[in-house]
C-alpha cells in the first residue's frame, strides 16, 4: 500500500502552537534612560569580602512605556540549584521597585555574553536566602522570562544615573508615563 504524500502544509495543531509562541524577533530597544537617585544597594561580594554595594538602578524603557530595573549579573550568580535556573534580587529592592517606582520589569544583563533577560517584577516571588546576604526573591528563567535579548547589553543598558548626561528625575519619568 502506498502512503499518500502530503503537500508542504502545516497542520492545524502546529499553526496553533506557533501562534501561541508569537514572534521570535526580540524587541529593538533603544538605550534606557537612568532615573536620578534610583541606585540600589545590597550585600554583595565573595568569601569574606561582602559589603553593601551598588547593584543596579531604575531606568525608563520607552519601548515598554515602563520603568524597569537594570542589573548586571555574572554567570556564577545565576541560581543553578533551583528548578529552571533562577535570578535572585534582594526583597528590599523588589519591594521598592513595586511600591516606590511601580517598575514593571527587571532587565538582567549577563556580563559574560552581553545577553539581557527581561522578567516581570511581579515574577520575583520565590524566597531565596544565602547566609550573610540579604533575603531575596528569585524568578525562574524557564517560565518567568518574557524576552531573551542576545548580545545587546552594551547597546541597551545605560550608565549609572550620577554618571549619565541623559538621566531624568523620577517625577519626569512618571510624567512621561502619564502617571505624574
Report domain extents, the chain.
27-176
Q: Measuring CA to CA, how many Å separate 123 from each of 40, 51, 100, 120, 141?
A: 19, 27, 17, 6, 10
> What is the Cα 29 distance to its own chain's centre?
13
Q: How confident is the model at residue 6 (pLDDT cuts 50, 70, 90)?
A: very low
Q: What is the per-residue pLDDT for 20?
A: 61
The pTM assigned to this predicted structure is 0.82
Neighbouring C-beta atoms of residue 92, cutoff 10 Å: 14
d(CA 79, CA 77): 6
Q: How confident is the model at residue 55 (pLDDT cuts 50, 70, 90)?
A: very high
Section 48-77 average pLDDT:
91
pLDDT per residue as tens digits for the range 90-126: 999 999 999 999 999 999 999 999 999 999 999 999 9
Amino acid at each position: 500500500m502506498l502512503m499518500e504524500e502530503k503537500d508542504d502544509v502545516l497542520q492545524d495543531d502546529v499553526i496553533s502552537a506557533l501562534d501561541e509562541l508569537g514572534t521570535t524577533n526580540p524587541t529593538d530597544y533603544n538605550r534606557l534612560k537612568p532615573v536620578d537617585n534610583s541606585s540600589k544597594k545590597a550585600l554583595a561580594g565573595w568569601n569574606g569580602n561582602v559589603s553593601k554595594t551598588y547593584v543596579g538602578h531604575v531606568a525608563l524603557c520607552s519601548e515598554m512605556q515602563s520603568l524597569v530595573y537594570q542589573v548586571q549579573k555574572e554567570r556564577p550568580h545565576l541560581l543553578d540549584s533551583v528548578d529552571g535556573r533562577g535570578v535572585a534580587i534582594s526583597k528590599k529592592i523588589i519591594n521598592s521597585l513595586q511600591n516606590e517606582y511601580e517598575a514593571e520589569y527587571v532587565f538582567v544583563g549577563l556580563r559574560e555574553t552581553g545577553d539581557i533577560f527581561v522578567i516581570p517584577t511581579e515574577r520575583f516571588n520565590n524566597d531565596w536566602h544565602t547566609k550573610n546576604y540579604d533575603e531575596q526573591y528569585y524568578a525562574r528563567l524557564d517560565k518567568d522570562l518574557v524576552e531573551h535579548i542576545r548580545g545587546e547589553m552594551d547597546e541597551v543598558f545605560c550608565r549609572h544615573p550620577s554618571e549619565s548626561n541623559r538621566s531624568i528625575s523620577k517625577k519626569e519619568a512618571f510624567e512621561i508615563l502619564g502617571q505624574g
